[in-house]
Structure 1
Amino acid sequence: MRAWYLPGVITLHALEATLAEGKAPLKVVWVKKGELTPQGEALDVRLGGLLRQAMAGAGFKGEAGENLLLSTPEGHFLLFGLDEDPRATGGRLAQVLGKLSFPEVLVEALEAYPLAEGILLGAYRFDRYKASNKEEKPVAIQLSGANPEEVERAKKVAEGVYWARDLVNEPPNVLTPEALAEAALSLKAFGVEVEVLDEGAIQALGMGAFLAVAQGSENPPRFIALRYAPEGARERLDLVGKGLTFDSGGYSLKPTEGMATMKGDMAGGAAVLGAMKSAALLGLPVEIRGYIAACENMVSGRAYRLGDVLKTLSGKTVEVMNTDAEGRLTLADALAYAERQGAKRILELSTLTGSAVVALGEEVAALFATEETWGKQVEEAAKKAGEKVWPLPLEKAYREKLKSPVADLKNVGDRNGGAITAALFLAEFVTVPLVHLDIAGPAFAKKAHALGPEGGTGFGVRTILNVVQGLGKV
């Protein structure tokens, strides 16, 4: 599964020349609230005021994403309105350039790294299943004044995000649990150790909750364990990602509207894989371990039922009160396994609850932390990545909602505070510091946006990488 921009419809290159000095068939000139940047001003002086005249004649204000193409005897110029967020500016620019036919473009690299990242993310497409899919003409973007190292880093980060998006966007008849495991095995080429456990090995370990969710499907489960261990690493991060390659809800069946995007219920696992790939490409100096319990939640004569009592890897028992609260069951065993492997701190990502979407909408992930310092580290990493998260409380009083008369826990509480009780459930299965990111809202975009089209967003990859970089500096 290859990222759309590689080996390259859009390629990025650092360039020392300014807009006035450089040579390219098209030059992008930034405008913010009617004002040109210093490089734009210098170019306009060289052109005898042509740019300002065109802006005045067209009533061009330079609002975010607003653009105006000028074809003159002096060359082609694209006036483009700056967004407050340079990533959004880059993404919108990439989408506009994709509709034009210039083989080379010169762009002033304001805030070079986020701009470069935005350009690459905004260029993403997933159209391999369309009969009308046609080969795109390559576009080489020269970033004036950019640091070459920043440009290369953006490419390596984007490759991980693209892979995560591709995995989420694959149809569920293609991306089965076995196929997800095969995708994970491709990381061996980047120096990542990968172990895949089949159904027998999962059963031998005692992952009763994970197996219960998986048992209703014809497609067998797979447990994926990953290890990136660069020489000299002094810090370690353990990642856990939800890996439901399709979720029907089981006997607590989802309605059509709720099931339509459930091929993306493995977005947490996809983020783990994408981040592992980018970390290896970047050579980050931190040991990273990742765990994904991959399965489908289906309806059949073998499917698990309401009232079933499951024994987890930790030894705790869970009474099933809703088969559509399946992700937390698979994660319970994955989290316990991570701790058995010596995890010191865990970052877990999952499309876990609709309650998180009700609380925070579709662009913000809910962050829960069992330890404040670790929660702040992840929150700051997400902010730096431009991925929106918001901390919610692990309200201990709500633990009462999970009490069962026949088992140690129920897998759901009542409707109120559902994202919190789900997080409290997960916290029962680890003793080390845990951050749980409920990415149910931002993991899958229902319409096109500045950084990409409808579909998987790769949310979490960039946050994970920033967390890793932060640990590497300790």
Structure 2
Amino acid sequence: MTALTLSTATATGLRADALVVGVAKGDKGPVVAPGAEAVDQAFDGKLASVLETLGAAGAEGEVTKLPAPSGVKAPVVLAVGLGALPEKDDVFAAETLRRAAGVAARALAGSKKAALALPVEDAEDAGAIAEGALLGAYSFDAYKESAKDAKKNGKAPLAEVAILGGKPRDKAYKAAVERAVALGEELNRARDLVNTPPNDLNPEAFAAVAQAAAKEHGIKVQVLDEKALIKGGYGGILGVGAGSASTPRLVKLSYTSSKADKHLAFVGKGITYDSGGISLKPAGHNETMKCDMAGAAAVFAAVVTAARLKLDVNVTGWLALAENMPSGSATRPGDVLRMYSGKTVEVLNTDAEGRLVLADAIAKASEENPDAIVDVATLTGAMMLALGNRTFGIMANDDAFRTSIHEVAEETGEPAWPMPLPADLKKGMESSTADIANMGERMGGGLVAGLFLQEFVGEGITWAHLDIAGPAFNEAAPFGYTPKGGTGSAVRTLVRLAERTAAGDLG
């Protein structure tokens, strides 16, 4: 893991493999951002013009390397584009700094130490830079032979980052960096889980990871295996896992604080591999289905982060784990499952399995009467069609709570958008055989899935559903602090929601 330090050293006086500065996009060309004044002086005040000569404009994500001049102890200066100049007071948004630090960390893979002379106005800025650096330095190469020689071939993650302009003795700055470390490490662990091949991460293996983390961080854990699920009547989870040789699990993680007066329940879809079951996915849609447990990974990471930060809120995580496979024992289209809640569901499509495992977990979570339930799932392709690959949808049974989660997501740098739950779409899920069908109208399919889940929320409980199907797995090139593969989507939103709840602002 990349080591982080706060430093009061001058940008020109710190020894490092590279010195990172920010450059913004001005009306008349690139503009050197605050934090790099000493570096600009070392270039005789001509750093911006040198960068412009090299083709730099200051656009977001742009990277320009150039040799350091005399007077700068680092041999290389790396200029990272910050985008347009701020309209007010030259203060850059936290997300801008987070992305810039991530870009720098990726660009400097293989380096031992980097000094980041990005704009730092307060502890929040320092925390954002620390978070971006940790997330940007992430790599997943556990299965590559070349990983053994990563240090030799220059592909190892950036080893150390010094954040200039920080205040090492200031409690707020120290707390901001400590938060970034806890969040970054757990979010990156969620990415590892998403990226792990399904032959090594089945429900039992995922549960074992959760048990180990719970023991390490003082979290209570309960794992329901197949026998316990049968005894408890978890028909949804059992029905999805019926076709696999790997039996399903329901994992409960409980973090409690003696000072807490609020309780949040997070529920994660954990389909460790989704073939579609008997309703087999078409060719070209199976290759990335190891990511179908990203919701459970996000919930797991959020609970552990809350414990590491010692937040004054009780957080319970429910990981609904199963593998959806076709076989002679698999659930068939037309089968009827009796869910944990007692409600019966006619399965019209076995590839609409996520809502089945979530329904059981939501019903179980409702028994504890939490102040709010938030489920997270790579649930529908329809949400990707609606919002693209970088934005997740938010549905809720309470408009104010939906708005609050949207604000939290945007605050943490996770693009999200509020979506409705139109009552008229419920009619499409009517079944002549069971209480409800697991499919409805094709148009608005992401909203139909949300309406299905709402049926299993306990009476009077505030609930929200995050459909992270788009941003959970990045098949394109890395950008900002986001790698290719598992992204850790929704972890930061859940953690920030827990922080706001602890502060008395549940929304």
TM-score interval for Structure 1 and Structure 2 normalised by the shorter chain: over 0.9
Determine the structure 1 residue equivalent to 2:89: none
Of 154, 160, 170, which aligns to 2:186?
160
Q: Deviations over 1:379-399 (max 9, x none)?
A: 111111111111111000111
For the residues of structure 2 that align with 1:260 and 1:66, how far apart are their CA atoms?
32
Counterpart pick for 2:495 among 425, 444, 465: 465
Residue type at the aligned position of 1:423: G
- Matched residues in 2 for 1:363 and 1:46: separation? 40
Deviation of 1:469 after TM superposition, in Å, equals: 0.6
Q: CA RMSD in A?
A: 1.7
3-state SS of paired residue (1:231): coil
Shift of 1:50: 5.4
Shift of 1:107: 2.5
Alpha-carbon distance between aligned partners in 2 of 1:396 and 1:53, rounded to the nearest angstrom:
59
Out of 143, 155, 163, the residue aligned to residue 143 of structure 1 is 163
| Residue 91 (structure 1) aligned with residue 102 (structure 2) | yes
Return 5+ residue gaps in structure 1 as ranges: 1-5
Deviation digits for residues 408-448 of structure 1 (CA, Å, limit 9, x no counterpart): 10100121110111100000011211100011111010022
- What is aligned with 2:467? 438
Map of 1:254 onto structure 2: 281
> Which residue in the other structure is 1:374 paired with?
401
SS in 2 for 1:86: helix
Name the CA distance, whole Å, in 2 between partners of 1:179 and 1:39. 46
Letter in structure 2 aligned against 1:271 = A
Q: Which has the higher contact order (CA 8 A, sep 6+)?
A: 1
CA-to-partner distance for each residue in 1:172-194, whole Å, 9 max, x for gaps?
00001000100110122101101
- 1:335, 1:367 → 2: CA distance? 16
The residue number in structure 2 matching 1:229 is 256
Q: Contact 1:368–1:375 (CA<8 Å) still a contact in 2? A: yes
Q: Deviations over 1:78-107 (max 9, x none)?
A: 2322246222211111111115x4534243
Per-residue CA deviation, residues 273-330 of structure 1 (Å, 9 max, x unaligned), is 1111111111111100011121111111110111111111111111111011111111
Whether the aligned pair in 1 keeps the contact of 2:293 and 2:378 (CA below 8 Å) is yes
| Identity percentage of aligned residues | 42
Q: Secondary structure at the match of 1:435?
A: strand
Query: Is contact 1:250–1:324 with CA below 8 Å preserved after alignment?
Result: yes
Corresponding residue for residue 21 of structure 2: 29
Query: What's 1:3 paired with?
Result: none
**1:44-80: CA deviation from partner (whole Å, max 9, x where unpaired):** 2355335345335434332222313224333332232
- Give the TM-score of the pair, scaled to structure 2: 0.88
> Is structure 2 residue 118 aligned with structure 1 residue 108?
yes
Alignment of 1:287-306 (within 5 A): 287-306=314-333
Number of matched pairs: 465
Q: How does 1:38-53 map to 2 (within 5 A)?
A: 38-49=34-45, 51-52=47-48
What SS is found at the alignment partner of 1:217? coil
Q: What does the per-residue CA deviation read over 1:211-259, in whole Å, with 9 as the maximum and x for residues that have no partner?
A: 1111111111111011001221111100100011111111110013111
Which residue, out of 123, 127, 146, partners 1:132? 146
How do 1:318-397 and structure 2 match up within 5 A? 318-397=345-424
Cα pair distance change 1:78/1:209, threshold 3 Å: closer
Separation in 1 of the partners of 2:225 and 2:455? 26
1:25–1:411: structure 2 CA closer, same or farther, 3 Å change rule?
closer
Letter in 1 for 2:102: G
CA contact (8 A) 2:43 2:69 kept: no
1:450 and 2:480 equivalent?
yes
Of residues 416-425 and 68-77 in structure 1, the stretch that sits farther from structure 2 once superposed is: 68-77
Per-residue CA deviations over 1:111-148 (Å, capped at 9, x if unaligned) read 22222211111111000100111343653221112222
CA gap 1:27/1:294 in 2 versus in 1, 3 angstroms: same
CA offsets, 1:11-56, max 9 Å, x none?
A: 2111123325545453222211211124323432355335345335
Distance 1:11 1:156 in 2: 12
Q: Cα gap change, 1:81/1:449 in structure 2, threshold over 3 Å: closer, same or farther? A: closer
* Cα distance in structure 1, aligned partners of 2:56 and 2:479: 23
Deviates more, 1:83-92 or 1:164-173: 83-92
Is the contact made by 2:42 and 2:71 (CA closer than 8 Å) also made in structure 1?
Answer: no
Which of these residues, 439, 444, 448, is aligned with residue 417 of structure 1? 444
Partner AA of 1:156 in structure 2? A
How far apart are residue 336 of structure 1 and its match? 0.4
Pick aligned residue for 2:197 from 164, 171, 179 = 171
> Residue 36 of structure 2: SS of its match in structure 1?
helix
CA gap of 1:102–1:330, structure 2 versus 1, over 3 A, is closer
* In 2: Cα distance, 1:366 partner to 1:26 partner: 39
Whole-angstrom distance in 2 between the partners of 1:243 and 1:25: 41
Q: Helix, strand or coil for the counterpart of 2:393? A: strand
Q: Gaps spanning 5+ residues in structure 2: where?
A: 85-95, 167-172
SS at match of 2:285: helix
2:38 and 2:119 map into 1 onto residues whose CA distance is: 15
Tell me the equivalent position of 2:11: 19
Please report the TM-score for the alignment, with normalisation by the length of structure 1. 0.94
Give the secondary structure class of the aligned counterpart of 1:368: strand
Aligned: 1:69 with 2:66? yes
Counterpart contact for 1:109–1:143, Cα < 8 Å? no
Give the residue type in structure 2 aligned to 1:444.
F
Query: After TM superposition, what 4+ stretches of structure 1 lie above 6 angstroms from structure 2?
Result: none
